[in-house]
Structure 1
């Protein structure tokens, strides 16, 4: 049976838009936001942790020191001095950093779902907001902790790496849809 041609206004609305374009008929979905935040937050966590470890090695001579310091949420000040690889400090510190990264990625992904343009600017804004909250809003014990083990340029590089991780996850996702 031959198909009847669709009116042109229907064909246009069903065509894919530019990469990253969200159609007006696609409703906001927290499920989609959380799923995407798990991916982008995980990538941002891994990328920023690699930077933290590189700076820890350079400044402190102990690769896991910056990651260990994040375990101050659980172990308080002694975590800031932990230098070696341990479950107590390294694993807990990374878990805290990772959970925080997914938290911030949720904000990024919700913003991107509502307004998909300029993802690098959004990633940078979320990373900047994370820095402000981490160092000017929450109590010092709830700061990331790595500031005690890496230099100020390392902190800037870490938050830039975090933004880059958020952004790259979106690029990868866009590439998969093509």
Structure 2
């Protein structure tokens, strides 16, 4: 049975969310001394600007921040699968890598050039522009892993 775009997006949403959160934690620890600060900042949708100043793990800030980030990653994964799923169905590694990178770049462009500041992700309050790049690379790698996992039963097309 063939996976639908939604089924595939649930997998690539999980892999891209986890890997970009790991990237956020690593660069957050380096830049702000807190692995949780960038994820906490995402909860600004619920808790306002004070979320951007929370450094420790908490059920109040970290959990909603991660859940919001995960939902966003799943949304972008659905866009990824709907727009580029056919390109990736041959399991060509270059096509998957290019599709993942393009989706991540488009998500970053949308997040920071098309979205009003109040609706931006929030982790930019705790991370430099270069660190944001690391987060979006993690997101792209997660998309690629998800695309590969959801196509494991299909034959591989040489690069």
The normalised TM-score by structure 2 is 0.87
Gaps of 5+ in 2: none
Structure 1 vs Structure 2 CA RMSD = 1.8
Partner of 2:82: 110
Residue 177 of structure 1: CA displacement? 4.5
Residue 176 of structure 1: CA displacement? 4.5
Partner of 2:104: 127
Partner of 1:48: 20
1:75-86 residue pairs with structure 2 within 5 A?
Answer: 75-86=47-58
Question: Structure 2 vs 1, CA of residues 108 and 176 (structure 1 numbering), >3 Å: closer, same or farther?
Answer: same
Contact 1:56–1:64 (8 Å) recurs in 2: yes
Q: How many angstroms apart in 1 are the aligned matches of 2:99 and 2:17? A: 17
Task: Kindly name which structure, 1 or 2, has the bigger radius of gyration based on alpha carbons.
Answer: 1
Partner of 1:58: 30
Gaps of 5+ in 1: 1-28
Residue 111 of structure 1: CA displacement? 2.1
SS in 2 for 1:120: helix
Question: Relative CO higher for 1 or 2, CA cutoff 8 Å, sep ≥ 6?
Answer: 2
Residue 168 of structure 1: CA displacement? 1.1
Q: How many residues align?
A: 150
The normalised TM-score by structure 1 is 0.79
Q: How many angstroms apart in 2 are the aligned matches of 1:175 and 1:41? A: 17
